[in-house]
């Protein structure tokens, strides 16, 4: 299975400051169709997860532009340019290139 | 409005069975793969199973293969997860989800399965 390793697991941040979460895969998650199916999800307390980013860097509809994704191959990053109070929660990366699809352990963003 | 509403969770003894259901509305159910994803309370997410739009392909997490069966009724816009030989480590919130690689994603609110004697 592809192991997704996130760091840090806990990220204290100050309002208005940037934040960055790393996700590394144990093998390349580039699909045979040349796309990289690496997504980022946000889960606020008591809520179901919500996807923010797909195929590494594409923002989902309605996602603020302070969220951005980057990376390639096995190394990926989610960045928040200026953290707002509503960003508190747990963030997960997901690879959906190879079955079984696998999530990272989650990074708790604490404001 | 898109809705995914799970039901069927509850308390079951080890070795027991449960059948989860998910009623979908607001989108064309048969257009995409459908999924079950679980989350142990306070822990991370785990993709359990998914099924192709026509039901001809299914994939399972190794730890549930042979015990869980995913199925769908496109006429009823419903997704199911039949779970047998339940173990304590199957205790989790089970989410029904539409999770295409690039198109819009949808999650239910989850149903709680507790396996305990």
Residue pLDDT, tens place only, A57-108: 999 999 999 999 999 999 999 999 999 999 999 999 999 999 889 999 999 9
pLDDT of B28 reads 83
Give the Cα-Cα-Cα angle B96, B97, B100 (nearest 5 degrees): 155
Asked whether the beta carbons of residue A48 and residue B62 sit closer than 8 angstroms, the reply is no
Look at residues B77, B78, B63, B67 and name the one whose alpha carbon lies nearest to residue B18. B67
Residues of B in contact with A104 (CB under 8 A): 44
How many residue pairs from chains A and B have C-beta atoms closer than 8 A?
A: 46
pLDDT of B41 reads 85
- Tell me whether strands B68-73 and B78-83 are parallel, antiparallel or unpaired: antiparallel
SS3 of A46-102: the string is: CCCCEEEEECCCEECCCCCCCEEEEEECCEEEEEECCCCHHHCEEEEEEECCCCCCE
SS3 of chain B: the string is: CCEEEEECCEEECCCCCEEEEEEEECCCHHHCCEEEEEECCCCCEEEEEEECCCCCCEEECCCCECCEEEEEEHHHCEEEEEECCCCHHHCEEEEEEECCCCCCCEECCCEEEEECC
Q: Which residue has the tokens 């306070």?
A: B42
pLDDT of B31 reads 86
Specify the DSSP class assigned to residue A36: B
- Tell me whether strands A107-110 and A89-95 are parallel, antiparallel or unpaired: antiparallel
Chain B: residue whose CA lies nearest to A39: B101
Asked whether the beta carbons of residue B101 and residue A101 sit closer than 8 angstroms, the reply is no
Give the span between the Cα atoms of B117 and B115, in whole angstroms: 7
pLDDT of B100 reads 87
pLDDT of B67 reads 98
Residue pair A101/B97 in contact (Cβ under 8 Å)? The answer is no
Kindly state whether B76 is in contact with chain A, defined as any CB-CB distance less than 8 angstroms. no
Q: Tell me the two tokens of residue A5.
A: 């390793």
Give the Cα-Cα-Cα angle A73, A108, A65 (nearest 5 degrees): 65
Specify the DSSP class assigned to residue A21: E
Kindly state whether A102 is in contact with chain B, defined as any CB-CB distance less than 8 angstroms. yes
* Stretches in chain B below the pLDDT threshold 70: none
Interface test with B, best of A34, A57, A100, A106 (most B CBs within 10 A): A100
Chain A: residue whose CA lies nearest to B61: A100
Kindly state whether A89 is in contact with chain B, defined as any CB-CB distance less than 8 angstroms. no
C-alpha distances in angstroms, B22 versus A16, B35, B41? Answer: 40, 10, 20
Residues A21-38 pLDDT 10s: 999 999 999 999 999 999
């Amino acid at each position: 299975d592809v192991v997704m390793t996130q760091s840090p697991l806990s990220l204290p941040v100050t309002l208005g400051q940037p934040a960055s979460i790393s996700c590394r895969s144990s093998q390349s998650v580039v699909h045979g169709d040349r796309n990289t199916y690496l997504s980022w999800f946000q889960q606020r307390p008591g809520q179901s997860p919500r996807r923010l980013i797909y195929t590494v860097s594409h923002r989902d509809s309605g996602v603020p532009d302070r969220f951005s994704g980057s990376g390639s191959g096995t190394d990926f990053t989610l960045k928040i340019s200026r953290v707002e109070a509503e960003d508190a929660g747990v963030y997960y990366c997901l690879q959906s290139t190879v079955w079984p699809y696998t999530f990272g352990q989650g990074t708790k963003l604490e404001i | 409005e898109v809705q995914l509403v799970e039901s069927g969770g509850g308390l079951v003894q080890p070795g027991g069975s449960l059948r989860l259901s998910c009623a979908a509305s607001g989108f064309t159910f048969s257009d995409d793969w459908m999924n079950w994803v679980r989350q142990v309370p306070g822990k991370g997410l785990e993709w359990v199973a998914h099924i192709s739009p026509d039901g001809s392909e299914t994939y399972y997490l190794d730890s549930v293969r042979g015990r869980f069966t995913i199925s769908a009724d496109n006429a009823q816009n419903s997704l199911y997860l039949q779970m047998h030989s339940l173990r304590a480590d199957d205790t989790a919130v089970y989410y029904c989800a539409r999770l295409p690689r690039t198109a819009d994603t949808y999650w239910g609110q989850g149903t709680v399965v507790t396996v305990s004697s």
